[in-house]
Every structure is written in structure tokens, then in C-alpha cells.
Structure 1
């Protein structure tokens, strides 16, 4: 049987070498390796048919005996082994580091057992204790844990302000958590504060026998009217009748967090005609995983209207309360009240984080069957020997890793050449590399990193922007973590007004799904920054009109996408009209390709005003973009922009800016990719979480710019990064930003390892 062999193609440039390979092997050719050659650039490739035949032969071949393969490894196999070896080192060292910390600092291990015994999760406990400085006594360490927990627990704002504002509050949660009793307790507090005549109670619980009667009895005692509703329309009618009431409390039917009807219940509350604030009740006697599932289900059920907070119930029935704190810290869910009994209204208190944390950290109940017991001490001789064995194995793996680097010496030149090309290219490589290598430095204050990123941004803006800085505001969804918690990343990417390329990501935020989606947080931050040029915020959608007025007063420039139904009043017309019904005069436009066919795209502009709820008329520019089929004139695409940017920027330029902003959605998704490569979100107590998020954003701009970089060296660098990522280079497929990001994540430590290898090989005292 003839085994297909890879073929080598040498040419003066990488593009010519790839062209030769494609001509000889077809568009589906698979690039196995590439490197600089004495005669130019060499590509090793196989055709699609040869690859399939090779796979069939490999499957049919008998297994090889264990042991090293004779001769030198192929470049791709060396890289594959290098990736595998690095993963083994990282995996092994992860356990060694924690165990070694406990061996050198036994107090840390004792504190870990204390936190686990109080009901905290292992992840939060370890993340918090990683911040503990060495050398503390147990009492000092416990005080440190207490202070960190008090700082991390989210609580409601001042109760007097909350009750003073009033409104509609709905108590939601699973069955049996104590919603009706807690509703009565809250009602009693409100009656004592501002009287029964300004209160009303509503129940939607038509399932549980006696639910309405129980609440009606409480209402009679308090002198508060009680209303029972049966559906969404009835609820809307009742709440409209109760508009003169300062406070309305809604007792809802209990539903399991796994019941699909949870979303229906939340939809009924959110479509009630008035804003309904939802308070989630958490049962202290529930398991930590159950609490996490409850919050996730009720938070996810309506992402546009997040929970305003929670109430801890049944505290008197649970011996351990750590899981409650663990859950609200992880989900950033403010705690409003604590309920610890059936008495109305005595057994309801405002959350005091210091007192509650003190109560949680008291010793676990004696004789508990479910708390962590010490197993002979972490610093015992057996544990110490295990740590030493693990360290020795990690050292052996590291030495093998270095030998593999030397084995691929013929590729080392290509790696060095790629690094040099990246340094000379305008992609921000040096800053990205330095930030990546320091991403997990927990000791570094976030403020210091933010300052460095701002300095990087100013340097990039000085060389890459003309008259403006484009601030692209948006968000990207993170993959769910192990506990199925989902978060969004809110980004503010600074881009060039000359090329549209991302220059810097000086700030990132973590948000719950359903939070503000029009860039409000980013805009508020932009107001505090100075970048040397006027900033124009590019928003994914139109902000509320009141915010637009405030921005106008603050001289903040913005461009926002608007929907077809957005109402605006054109100049000379007294009636607000939907943007889709306005008829501007389009110019001849330009030839483009849209939806696979020849088309023409034109831009037009009209002056309009947008009214606020208070009657203020805000003068704006409306930019219309329309793409029509070249032959039939059929409209293929149309969109609208509203902006307060002055006439010095023509409408065609504004349309171009918004098109660039849409492309940068991919850069924001790369931030999510980078965060996963750096270790993910982690727990709130993770000291390096924000550092990783900020670094991931800045490196995403480098990967995005590299994806669009043109030239011979850029092509060769993208091929190398794809190979470093362990992916196959296909001549018929474009490069992927996510793959290039992964390649950069492999290139950064590889350059450090190569530098260390060179340093070890150099004799002491030799000239540099």
C-alpha cells in the first residue's frame, strides 16, 4: 500500500507558496506546516484526498508499541505534543499551588475548613483565601475573611428612601418559602411608617387553598384593603385603580424554579401597566445548589427587568447560612430583609451585613454530619511527601517542555520572525503581550491597570485618529459557567475615525443579562475621560430622550441606531412621524454587493426633533441609509441613525462610522473568548477577575486588527498563529479571529519560554 506523502512548495513569498499549493492540490488543500526557507517561504501541504486516505490507513494500521518514535518529529506533531505537555504542566501545577500554600501556611487550610463548615462553596472560599497575606494567625485570618465578606455582600440602599419612594413590589419565589407571611410583615412595617390608608395588598395566588383568606385576615388586622386577581388583565385593572396608593405589595403564587410557568408569571407582573419591583425570597434551609438554581431561574425569566433584591426567610430553621451569602455575592443580588420566624411584624429585620456575617462565621454545629472534618492536618508528613512528588513531576514536565522547544528549533526562527513582524505592525502587540503575561497578578490594583490601559489608548489615538475618537458601546454574552450562571460583558472600544480599526479597550464591565442595553454605563464613563480629541459615542440603540437631553447639556457627541418606528418631527412639519414614513432625497449612491447581488447604496439626511416626556424638543440629524437592487430597484436593506454631531461631519461619514461599529461586534465577542482563555469569570472574591476582563478586552483589539492587517508578513503570521492554536490551515477558508486570539494566547508564553531557554543556554557573564 502506498502511503501518501505531503508535498513541499517553496516560493519567494507566502502568498506565492500558498498559490502554488492551491494550484497543485486544489482549493481544499490542508497546510501541515510553514516556515521561512533559504529560498523564501516553504509550505508543506496535502490534498483533501490524500488526507482522507492517510486517515483510513492510520485507522487500519496495528497499534504501535509504547516508546519514543524514532527520528525527528514532524513540525505539526511537535507542536501538538507541546500543546499537550503545556496543558499537563498547568493542570498539575494548579493542584500543587493550593496544597503547597496550605503546607507553608496551615492557617489558610484551617480557614478553608471553617468557611466550608459554614456553608460556603469551595470556589468562593478558595478565591477569597487566595487574597489572604501569609503570616497571619487564625484570628487575624478570620477577621480578614469577615471584612472581605462584609465588603462583598450587596445590600439594599437606605430603607427609608426605598419606602419613601413607594411603588409596587411583588414577592416571588418557590413554594413554601414564606411569601404570604413575609408580605404581611412588610405591610406592617409600611403601615407603621406612613399609615394603612396609603397601603394595599394584592394576591395572585388562586391555587393554594386559603391563600386569599390568610392574606385577607392580615389585611383586616392592619386595616389594609386586599385584592385578589386571576390573570394579567385583571392585575392591570387593579393596579390602575390603586395608583393613588403609595405602596402596593403583591403576594404571588409559589412556583418551582424548574417550572416553565415561571416566565409566564414574571411576564404577567412586567406587563401590569405599572413598574413592578420583584423581590425574590430565598429559603435559608435550602441547599446551596438549590439557591443558585432559584436565583438563576427567576433572574433569567425576565432579562429586561432584573430582580431588585431578595429577602432571606426561615433563618430560624437552618443551622448554616453561608450558602445564602455565597449565592447573593455570586449573583450580585442585594439583600433587603431577614425573616426568622412567624410573628408579624416582629420577625422581620433590615439586613445588617456586619451582624449577619458575624452570625454566619460562628462555629458549625457540633457533631454535624455534613461539615468538613480535619483529616490529620494538611502539613502532615504524608501530605508533604505528596506535594514534593507533585512538584518533582511538574519539574520533569517543565524540562520535557523545554526539550520540545529545542526540538522545534527550525520553527523557533519563524516564531521570532512573527513576533518581530507583530512588533513592527500597528496592532498594539507589545502592550498586549505585557498585559497578558501579567493578567493574573492578583496583587495589582485594578485602578493601576485602568490607568495603564488609558495611557495605551492615548498613545494609539495620537497616531491613528484624525479629528475624532470613535467610542463603540456594546455588549457580548459569556458562555455559562459550571453553575450555568450567565453574564454579559459591556465594552467600550475606542476606534480610529480614519480606518474604523479598534485601537484600545480601556474599560470593561460585567453585567447580568437584561441590564441596560443602550450603552448608558459606557457613556457615563466616557464623560470622565480625556483622550485628546472629541469623543463620539456610537450606540447600538437610541437612549431614552431624557438622557439625550442631559448629554446635550454635557456636550457629549453621539450617534445611535434608531428603529423604523421611532417618532421624530421633521423640520417644517408639526406632527411626529415614524422614521420609516419620512421621504428624504437620496443621491446617486455607490455600487455595492448586497445579499449576493449587484446593488446601489445611497445616504440621505433630514433635520428632525425628538420630544421628551416633559415636552422638550431636541434638535437632531436623521441619517437614512438605503440599499436597492441594481436592476429592479427593490429595497434590499435600510436603516436609520439619529445623532447630535454637527454638520462638519457629512452624513456619508456618519453612515461609515456606524458600519464600522457593527463590524466591531466581533471584537467584543473576542473579549469573551479571551476571558475564557484566561480562566473565565470565576467567583466575585477572585482577586484577579477584573484584571483578566480588562486584559481580555485589550488583547481582543490586537487580534481584531491582526485579522484585517494586509501584507506578506501578516499572511505568514496568521498562518503561524493558526498552527500554534492547533488548527488546520485551509487555503479555501478565511482566518478566524477566535483562532488568531487562541494563537496569540499560545504565542505569548511560548516567547517567554524561548527567552528563558536562551537565557539558560547563555554562559554567565557573556555579553548580551
Structure 2
């Protein structure tokens, strides 16, 4: 309060409860240039006599003496009281020196009292202070941060306070609520903003969305950028790709003429020239746009990586420029380069304080994938998720000499992270799969299709529930897969089970588990894989799967091992001894002996004397051909060295099938190949030829598995048993993906589309979906289905992997 003493020559006496409030009242009433004549401690508080005129030297000395005679203020640091200031006061120098010392003392007192007040607030309400530091560190202005915290309810923990702030921001943040209404209304939209903010790229992204919505003939593009080299060419190339006409204008007259010629276009997008917010030509550009006969709605592009003060200047310049020219205000804004922002709070701050509706969010260079509709919750959550790897310009608690956060505060922060991850999971379901009903319907179709979907999901769940160390019962997953393979063979195989082999290495950090033998079991009716088995390195893997008794028969059906090339004679003898059925492609120069007469020759030399079946029409490399098949019994023995004779006594009898294809038009031989099979395989020769083709097609499955292992998680600390189990689960999931790729049925196309959307990719109906995309999306689908079934009880780790683009079992990650 102010005393009733009369003021003399602009002198004022102020009485306040504290020195800090007295100084504030003095500045409010007399301004920052006022001088303190005297200060006295009274029963009502502190009395300050201030004046706008500099006091005389004796008066100044009296003021100093009165200040020194007053009760001591809170102790100041020793470094803040310099010896020079004491010398000046003791010397009784001139008025100017004394007044400078008084100003210095006043500044030190204000700073000290402000620090005491902040520490007092921290002790009284530590949560408010912690949340304030969080908001300031995220890039929010102090003004908005204090406004948000003004009505903070009492009794909240850190997680509850953060949720309150997010809800308060969401209520104040304007957004484009209905894109359909914007697209249906159409009109002319101009994209404006400073240089380098991404106007041309964003124009192309918007144009692509419009073309997908109502076609290229209803859209036109205009550019006013005649300053930047290649600006028109860049937009023209985008226009050629989209099939949209692009027009260049230089002034208001050109713009009016072009807009008049485009009256039949439903939507016109204008890419404007980039101008600094301090350029006086901004208002001229706005006047040119808004002076056209056809209304032009302006969208301001804001760079998320810019400083908050820069963004504030940009909005003021482009908004006030419109007011100066008498034009309408901004229709909204588009946030660009969100993926580059380290402290995106400034962007949200600008949107809230200036009430600019967010139409779209751009986070990359891809057209049009990296432009999406704005989502309040996702944007606000991203503010508190963004963390710079080297935050040099945001002081931490150690820089502020604060004590570390208490344990309960860390627990509360972890709870907030848990809720955020669950929210991200639900967001994935809403934005990528549109709704849970569509997700579950496609999951039901995958389950009913008998492609291993349910088994793969169960395996992923089982592996994720196991501890980091190998389980006590090793081989449980291996036995489960073998049991499922036996059951599935009843449905997929009629007489034989086909086994195609591949070999890979399972990398993990700097180590690698090499020599892993993979076996894909194929149907003898369709050639599609229905199971995947795995054998670790060692002697068993070196000899192939033949040493494993379970792969000689499966559900009382013989297993025929399909090999891409002929094995050594010793291995063939081993296979024969253990009763293993096999089939392999043989080279034309393989030395054999005819079983009927013992004539020794190469397979190619025996070809002229063979009797071929009647030709059947086939398609070979896109051309019409005629297929003929011949068969004979041969003895296979160790291949002789140069100049030596073989050992027919050690030979084993095998079936030899020859395939010959001639051109249907000219009759010219275009291909022939040789197959050797054990005599235990009683299938027809034509069937063996078909099996060889299926074995070649299975290479795509092994290639998909190899690609999925290019960037695995670093689990070098895990044991070999756990790593093998992970590879088994991955092999089965790749099998499901491969079956889904090959399926021509009606349910498969929408299922592939939804799974690709979960991986963040979109494809045309006739465009094939890559296996890597389906593998990533299938991993997310497993996690999201668990979250739908379990609700809030879904594990946080599961939601974490779904949000980050991986799967819970740690076998593969987002490629």
C-alpha cells in the first residue's frame, strides 16, 4: 500500500509488507529510473521513500547509512559484494558513483529475494515447480506454462499433473475436425510461410491427397515463386507424376487470369514464394492473393524445428500483414518438419496462443505418405516424448544445482510412460487399422485360412512370456512345432511330406550361431509350406536332417527331402543306409551305370537312347512349350578321378527322371534337366518334375527369412537355446507371411492391405505387398490383438514394441 504522506517534487513514500513488494510498487508508480532516498522497517512492514530526482551527496550518504542501519537482510554470497563497492562508499565519492552502487545493491537484493521466493515456492509446492521445469524444457513459453499451471488441482502426483496439463492443452488446441468437409467444399488454398519451410513439398503432398480423393482432372496447381531457381520445375515434375496441370504467375494480373481459367476446378493449390517474416513484401503478397475475385484461403506453414520466438514472429507477420491489407485472417496452419524437432513444445504453444487450427502434420519428404491429419493427443504426447541426444540449451536439474528427483517421483514418471504406451497402442488401432472391428474381422479370416496364423501368435506369446534366460525345459518349442507339423500333415499331405532345406546363421551382436539347418515342410498336393523345423549346428546339421529319425516319417507318411544339388557319394550311401527318401537335381556330367545292362556313361550320354512320354503343353519363361518326361533306373557310385575307373560294386540303385521342353512353334529344344530320387519314392515321374519346381519356389521363403535377420536385436547375452527358439518362431511367422503372399483367395487381399497399413505402407489393389512389410505388420497385429483382448491389462512391453514397430518376442524389428 502507499502511505498518505504528500509527495514533494515527485517524491513518494511507499509502505508494503515486504521489501520485494515495495520495490515493485515503486517501479509501477515511478518507473524503472526512480531513486531510493531512504528505507525504514516499520510496524506495518517496510517503508521506502523514492524520488525521480537524484539526491544530493549528503542525502545519498544518509540513504546508505539508513540502509546499513536497518535490520540485516538475508545473507548475500561473499562473491556478490566486491571490495571496489566498499571502497567507493568509504571514500564518499561523487553522486554518480554512489547512485551506481545503490542500483547495484538494489539488483542484488531483488535477485536474492527472487531466489528466496522461488525456493519457498519449491518447498511449498514441489510438483508445480517440477511441472514448470518440464514445460519449459519441452519448449513452452513461461507465459503459457504459468497459465496452464494456474488451476492445477491439489493432491496430484507427477503423472496425474502431467495428464492434467495434456488435457488442458487438448481443450485449448484448435484442429481441423473434418477433412471430408474441407475436401467436399473445395476452393483455392494458398500455402504461405518463410523460406525453407517446405511449401512446395507440402503442396505436392496435398495435391496427391486431392487426386486420390476426387481425381486429377478436378485439381490445378499454381506457383508464384519466380525467385528460387528450379521452383517451377520442381512443382511441374510433381504435377506430371500426378497428372495435374501446373501454372506459373508473376503478379496479381496473372493470378486473376489463371484463376478465371480454372473456374471449373474443384480445388486449386497455390505454392507461394518464401519470404522472411521481416520482409515488407509479405503484406504485398497477401494483398495479391486476397485481392483475387475468387476467395483464397491461406494456410501458414510452421517449421517445428524453429525457435519459439521465430515462430511467434512468423505468425504475427503473416497475420498482421493480412490486417494491414484489409484481408481475411489465416484459415489455419500446417506443421512441417515435425520429425526434425527436438523441443516441439514451442509449436504447440504458438498454435494455442494464436488459436491457429492445425490442418495437417508433415514429418518427412515422402509424397504423400508423410502428410497426415493432425491429432491432438498424438501431437501433445510427442512433445513430452521428444528428447534431444545432446540437449545443450536446456538446463537439467544438475545444471540448476537442484537435488535429483525423489524415488516416488520416478515411479510416478514411469506410470505416466505406461499410460502413454497404452494410449499409443490404442492410437495405432484407430489410425492404422481404422477400427478394432476391421482388425478382428481380418484376424478371424487369417485364423480360418489355415496358414499358421494362430500357431504363430501362440508361439510369439509363449516366447515373450519366458524369462530372459533359457527355460528350464529346453526344446519345448521345438517339440511343439514338430507335433503341430505332424497334425498339419494330415490335412496338407496325401502320400508324401516334402522337405526343402536351407542353411543360415543367426547373428547376435558380435557373435553368430552358424550352421543352422532350416527345413520347410511342403504339401505334396499344392507345394506350399505348412511347417518349419530347425536343427542346430554340429554333426547332425552337417549330415543334414537325415540323421533325425523324426524326419524319415511324419504321421506315418514318408518324408522326401528335396535337394537343390547332388550330394557326395558317401552322403548318398548314408541316406540309403538310414532309409531316407530323397530327390536331387543332378548334373548332366554325372557318371552312372544303367541298372539293366551295367553300361557306364554320363547322364547326358544316355539321353539319346531314352523313350520320352507324349508331349504336354506347358508355359516356360513366358513362352508356349511342350513337356516330355523319360525315366530309367541307374546305379550311382563314387565319381572316378581323371584316368581311373569307377567302383560299380559300391553303387546304389536310384531313379533317374529326365525333363525335356521344346518350343511349341519351332520344335527347338529349350531346356532339359535330370533328377535322381531314391527307389523308396514311388510317385510318378511327372509328379517328381512338379516337386522340383516347388522346391525352387520355396527359395523365396528362405530369402524372406534371411532378410528378416539383417537387423536383429542384440541378444548376445542370451543362450544358444533361447536364440534358436527365437529363430524357430521367426521361421514359422515367415511361413505364415509366405502363405499369405501366395494366397489368391478373396479374404487374402483385404488382409494384406490391413497388415500393410499396420506397417505404415499402402499399396494399390493389384500391387504385390513385399514380405518384409507383411512381416512387420503381422508382428504388430499379434500385439494389438492381445491388447484388444486384454484391455488395460496388456503388458507395457507389448505396447512398447507395437508402438516402436517391432514384436514382443525380440526376434525381428521394424526393417
State the TM-score, normalizing by the size of structure 1. 0.49
Larger Rg: 2
- Structure of greater relative contact order (alpha carbons < 8 Å, 6+ residues apart): 1
